[in-house]
Amino acid sequence: MIRARLAIAGLIVGASALAAPLVAAVAVQDTGLAAQDLAVLAGVIQLVRQDYVHPIGSDELVKDALKGMLNRLDPHSDYMDEQEFKDSQADTAGKFGGLGMQVSEQEGVVKIIAPIDGTPAARANLEPGDAIVMVDHTSTLGVSLQKVVDQLRGDPGTKVTITILRGKQDPFDVTLTREIIKVASVKSELKPGGVGYVRITQFGGDTADAFKKAITDFKRNAEGGVKGLVIDLRDDPGGLLTAAVDVAGDLLDGGSVVSIRGRQAEDQRSFTAPAHGDMLPGVPVLVLINGASASASEIVAGALQDRHRATIMGTQSFGKGSVQTIVPLKGHGAVRLTTALYYTPSGRSIQDEGIAPNVVVEAPKEQQISGGALMREAALQGAFKNPGPLNPSPGTGATQAATQVKAAYSAPIKADLIGKPDDAQLKAALAYLDEHADRQPGSTNRSAAEPGAK
């Protein structure tokens, strides 16, 4: 069974929430565990400590036991030790030390999903699909993603040598100098004709303010007013739920953005847009997605699609519809636990299926990443099946029809082409906005055999 996890040198990928710290361990009588079960666990730990061929501390065994227990639940639950927890907090803030690459683990091999613009990885011309087979001449085969990420990180100014396997080429070494990586989650540009282009690379703590500023700048600088808006969520692995809600809320006038449903009362929540929150009333909006658009990206795309505020273009999204809660364990790191599923305004779950575009436009073969299509949520070990809509009934209209375009998924565009002049999917988006400038966002599925096809 294939198991894959995504990270940007440890980036928290899912839409996440932070729970209150656990001051002490939960009392045994409250766990529902039989005494004999706990005795078996303690006995095995003692056996390993006493008889294993190499000495191992009980703290390491407990850590591994926690990781094993949580990793088996689903692809996104995990245990983080103190350092991993600290790193995850730095990642969410959009600033961390390292090389600047998004990586994944696929069948025990660590592969580069995308280098981050302006970082050591990008300057070294590392490419999506490159396999990192060694770090400082030590094999990464079978090593966990987190351990490889820890090896890649280090003090700014220090060097690390990674061995790359690219396609059928012979392996080659690349020596990089680590530095503080500052991730600009929002990049914006006013295109000719008054169309604003906003690229969101992840949903972090600064995303909502940066998105609002981009829209404000477009309104100030577009002669004759803003004629259209493209929000580019391709290769965006997600991030903070609150950031996604804020971004969607800047294009909606009140009403639902997303709802959460879990077992506990606090996990039954609905998030709404502010009244009169639309910063571009009447302006057509188009959202670009692909198979690497996940979680918070899907919240935004799903909300704008269901509310008929935007046309969604591209290929089927990743399909991560679960919410993770971070539970700090005082002095012992934190637990990252899947506690709920989220639903779009019409009540559909994105889990396992993703968002289907209204207009299907695939990247041309020459612009797709090497190595073929990326795995989606449904292919990950332990992934939840789609639970169906909250209120199953006919008449959900376009959103119900949109979920039928599952076969449209294909390999995402090469990361270094996103937003560039040769970006075929962006060209198709701009052409679509120009053609539909006087129409409201569409709600029916359309397919394009090639970018720009009508």
Q: Look at 297 and 404; give whichever has higher pLDDT.
A: 297
Q: Is the pLDDT of residue 329 over 80?
A: yes
Q: Is the pLDDT of residue 219 over 50?
A: yes
Tell me the mean pLDDT in the region 105-116: 77
Of 77-86, 198-207, 397-406, 423-432, which gets the smallest average pLDDT? Answer: 397-406
Our CA angle for 367, 129, 410, nearest 5°, is 50
Model confidence at 7, pLDDT cuts 50, 70, 90, reads: very low
282 shares a domain with 150: no
pLDDT for 249: 98
pLDDT for 448: 39
The domain boundary residue, chosen from 124, 158, 182: 182
Query: Out of 130, 293, 297, 320, which one is annotated catalytic?
Result: 320
150 shares a domain with 210: no
Q: Is the pLDDT of residue 410 over 60?
A: no
Q: Is the pLDDT of residue 17 over 60?
A: no
Q: Is the pLDDT of residue 20 over 50?
A: no
pLDDT for 408: 38
Q: Is the pLDDT of residue 91 over 90?
A: no
Instruction: Identify whether 270 is part of a domain.
Output: yes
Of 18-32, 60-74, 432-446, which gets the smallest average pLDDT? Answer: 18-32
228 shares a domain with 126: no
Model confidence at 432, pLDDT cuts 50, 70, 90, reads: very high
pLDDT for 439: 59
What CATH number does residue 166 fall under?
2.30.42.10
Question: How many of the other CB atoms lie within 10 Å of CB of 259?
Answer: 18
Tell me the mean pLDDT in the region 167-178: 93
pLDDT for 373: 57
Q: Look at 382 and 244; give whichever has higher pLDDT.
A: 244
Instruction: Identify whether 318 is part of a domain.
Output: yes
Residue 434 CB-half CA count within 13 A: 12
Tell me the mean pLDDT in the region 416-437: 92
Q: Is 306 a catalytic residue?
A: yes
Q: Is the pLDDT of residue 2 over 50?
A: no
The domain boundary residue, chosen from 138, 164, 182: 182
The domain boundary residue, chosen from 182, 214, 236: 182
Q: What does 273-336 look like in DSSP terms, one character per residue? A: PPTT--SSTT--EEEEE-TT--THHHHHHHHHHHTTS-EEEES------EEEEEEEBTTS-EEE
176 shares a domain with 149: yes
Of 21-35, 231-245, 350-364, 422-436, which gets the smallest average pLDDT? Answer: 21-35
Q: Provide the 8-state DSSP code for 382.
A: T
Model confidence at 243, pLDDT cuts 50, 70, 90, reads: very high
Domains held by the chain: number: 2
Tell me the mean pLDDT in the region 41-66: 92
191 shares a domain with 174: no
Tell me the mean pLDDT in the region 240-260: 96
211 shares a domain with 130: no
Sheet strand arrangement including 285-289: 186-191, 195-200, 228-232, 285-289, 311-314, 359-360, 446-447
What CATH number does residue 234 fall under?
3.90.226.10
pLDDT for 374: 65
258 shares a domain with 234: yes
Q: Is 104 a catalytic residue?
A: no
Tell me the mean pLDDT in the region 378-393: 81
User: How would you class 36 by CB atoms within 10 Å of its CB: exposed for 0-12, middle for 13-18, buried for 19 or more?
Assistant: exposed
Of 94-98, 124-128, 143-147, 376-380, which gets the smallest average pLDDT? Answer: 94-98
354 shares a domain with 217: yes
SS3 letters across 339-370: EEEEECCCCCECCCCCCCCCEECCCCHHHECC
Instruction: Identify whether 191 is part of a domain.
Output: yes
Instruction: Identify whether 322 is part of a domain.
Output: yes
258 shares a domain with 150: no
User: How would you class 113 by CB atoms within 10 Å of its CB: exposed for 0-12, middle for 13-18, buried for 19 or more?
Assistant: buried
Instruction: Identify whether 280 is part of a domain.
Output: yes
Of 43-47, 124-128, 245-249, 370-374, which gets the smallest average pLDDT? Answer: 370-374
406 shares a domain with 258: yes
Instruction: Identify whether 84 is part of a domain.
Output: no
Cα–Cα distance measured from residue 235 to residue 76, given in angstroms and rounded to the nearest whole number: 18
Query: Out of 295, 297, 317, 322, which one is annotated catalytic?
Result: 295
151 shares a domain with 197: no
Mean pLDDT across the chain: 83
pLDDT for 438: 63
Q: Is 270 a catalytic residue?
A: no
Model confidence at 183, pLDDT cuts 50, 70, 90, reads: confident
Tokens of 253: 């006038």
Model confidence at 250, pLDDT cuts 50, 70, 90, reads: very high
Query: Out of 306, 352, 414, 423, which one is annotated catalytic?
Result: 306
Instruction: Identify whether 43 is part of a domain.
Output: no
Which range of residues forms the domain containing residue 170? 95-182
158 shares a domain with 287: no
pLDDT for 378: 80
pLDDT for 182: 77
311-314 and 322-328 strand pairing: unpaired
Instruction: Identify whether 169 is part of a domain.
Output: yes
